[in-house]
Amino acid sequence: MTSLTKTLLVSLALIFGVAGLISGVMIFKNYQKDKLANKAQFISTEVTQPESTSSASTPIVTVTPTPTPEPKEYTVAVLNGSGIPGEAGRVQSLLEEGDLPEFTSVTAGNADGYDYTASEVHSKEELPAGLIERIKTALAEYDVIVGDPLTADAENDIEIIVGQTK
C-alpha cells in the first residue's frame, strides 16, 4: 500500500468515526428529551394493605399515573368584565399562545357588565382540577379567583370573566 492509500483510508475512518459520534449524541439528546416529557405527567399513589394475618405486614404502594388534562379538548369563553378595551382578546392570546399547552377553542366577548374587580374562572364540575390550575398559571399577572361552577348544559366548558385588577 502506498502512503496516499494509507492516508485516504485513515481519513475515511476518521470521518466515519466522527459521523458516528455525532449521530450517537443526537440520538441520546432526543431520548433524554422524550424521557423528560414523559415525567411531566402527574402521578398519584394508592396505599393498600395486603390481606395477611401476620402482624408485621407492610403496606403495598401502587403508583398510578394520572392523565394530564389536554386543554385542546375544552371550549373556553373569555369575557371582558373590566371595561378595558381589548382585555378579553389579550387573555385569549395568553391561552392560545402562552407557554402552557395551547387551548384551541377560545372565543372572546363582553361580560354582562364591566364591574368585575377580580378575574373569575367558572367551569363545569366534571373538568379536572389540574386544568383550572393551568389556566391560573397562564393568567399569573391577573388576580384570578375560582367562581361558581357552570351548569352541565352550559355552552362552554370554561368561562373566564376578566376583571379590573392585575
123 and 142 together in one domain: yes
**Is residue 87 situated within a structural domain?**
yes
pTM of the model: 0.57
**Is residue 34 situated within a structural domain?**
no
Task: Tell me how many domains the chain contains.
Answer: 2
52 and 98 together in one domain: no
DSSP 8-state class, residue 95: H
Q: Name every residue whose Cβ is closer than 8 Å to that of residue 110 and which is 6 or more positions away in sequence.
A: 79, 80, 81, 88
**pLDDT lower than 70: segments of the chain:** 32-58, 63-72, 99-102
